[in-house]
Amino acid sequence: MATNTPDRTRVRLADISSRAYEHPADRGALVALRSLKGFDEVFKRLSGLFNERALRLMFLASAVRVSEQQFPDVHNYVRDAAYVLDLDEVPELYVQQNPQPNAMAIGSQRPFIVMTTGLFDLLEAEEQRFVVGHEVGHILSGHAVYRTMLLALIQLAARVAWIPLGYIGLRAIVAALEEWYRKSELSCDRAGALAAQDPEAAKRALMKMAGGSRMVEMNPDSFLEQAAEYDRGGDARDSMLKIVNLVGHTHPFAVIRMAELDRWVRDGSYQRILDGEYPRRDSDGDASVGEEARRAANSYKESWERSSDPLLGTLKDVAGSAADAGGRLFDTVADRWKSAGRRDNGGDSARSG
């Protein structure tokens, strides 16, 4: 289904690359994955563990597919988000009866969105726009594809839990993917704000996900102070507890998401994108894996420099040297992959001739 003009004027971000809003750690991982020859084939094998058609049929049978006749307002939110973020097709969205507030983008061939009634009932109209835009951002970035890989690996890790070495190795991979996915959530909070073009509504949505619907009882400044207090922590024991608390979580905690989005808006990145200063999709192929790796490492370094956490303070210098070393490593690996690809393509051409 082609995109249409939205029901109220918003800035359309024509040909916007997902790199415009992606968190550096998220973007670095995606650029590296996309540059690897044969990665798509590996993914296809892993994604075979999931039946996308069966999932779509399940929601078609058990949830409500939004349209001009069903949840027409939500249908407009999806249409608008696809228009603003210049998505080729408007994804399907299903509303599912479930009191747990949640939304997700599913699938690799034709990703679609699911929003629970718990989340729908929790949020006001502009806050719903933010959530829908967040999920459309996942689709534009290709996160739905890589999230499927994460779920496949989690499933596989559960199956081989009885093999100690195999399980430990898979858990290490899963832990790394979970850290990437938490950063991808920060990316798509930005995408949601760009789609709705109402940062305050985005912040309200994040607050409601933490404290429920009683916004009159909550205060944004106080909520941000919670984030600052959490960041400061106490001693090294608190630092370790924060790390332990993240195990098994694919989403950052709500106060962290609020603080990260607020910082991104305040530093001018949000407005620069609305003003047209953003990378276009036709330049995606020119993205340097090494440069993105450096930016990812530097983003960690910068966050640690802002932090008062005692444990993170000891890692600042390590991150600085890792940024350059990691960038050089990824440059070398990428060059080798590209060279191998050229040789393979040349060989195929010679054989076909």
pLDDT at residue 217 in the model: 96
pLDDT confidence of residue 320 = 46
| Greatest CA separation for the chain | 73
Mean pLDDT of 85-108: 94
Question: Tokens 């303070």 map to which residue?
Answer: 313
Q: What are phi and psi of 106, to 5 degrees?
A: -125, 145
pLDDT at res. 351: 36
Residue 46 lies in a domain: yes
Residue 95 domain flag: yes
Whether 212 is in a domain gets the answer: yes
Taking 80 as the threshold, does the pLDDT of residue 238 lie above it? no
Is position 323 within any domain? Answer: no
**What range defines the domain where residue 239 resides?**
18-287
pLDDT of residue 99: 96
First-to-last C-alpha distance (Å) of the chain? 40
Residue 299 maps to a domain: no
Say whether pLDDT at 274 is over 70.
yes
What is the rounded CA–CA span in Å between residue 294 and residue 315?
16
Lowest mean pLDDT among 90-99, 134-143, 163-172, 228-237: 163-172
User: What's the pLDDT score for residue 316?
Assistant: 47
Per-residue model confidence as pLDDT tens digits over 315-342: 444 444 444 444 443 444 445 444 544 4
Counted domains in the chain: 1
245, part of any domain: yes
Cα separation, 345 vs 330, in Å, equals 22
Model pTM score: 0.76
For residue 261, tell me if it sits in a domain: yes
**How far apart are alpha carbons 84 and 173 in whole angstroms?**
35
For residue 266, being part of any structural domain is answered with: yes
Residue 191 contacts by C-beta under 8 Å, 6 or more apart in sequence? Answer: 18, 21, 85, 133, 134, 136, 137, 138, 140, 141
pLDDT band of residue 133 (cuts 50, 70, 90) is very high
Query: What pLDDT score was predicted for residue 343?
Result: 47
**What would the mean pLDDT of 232-249 be, rounded to a whole number?**
69
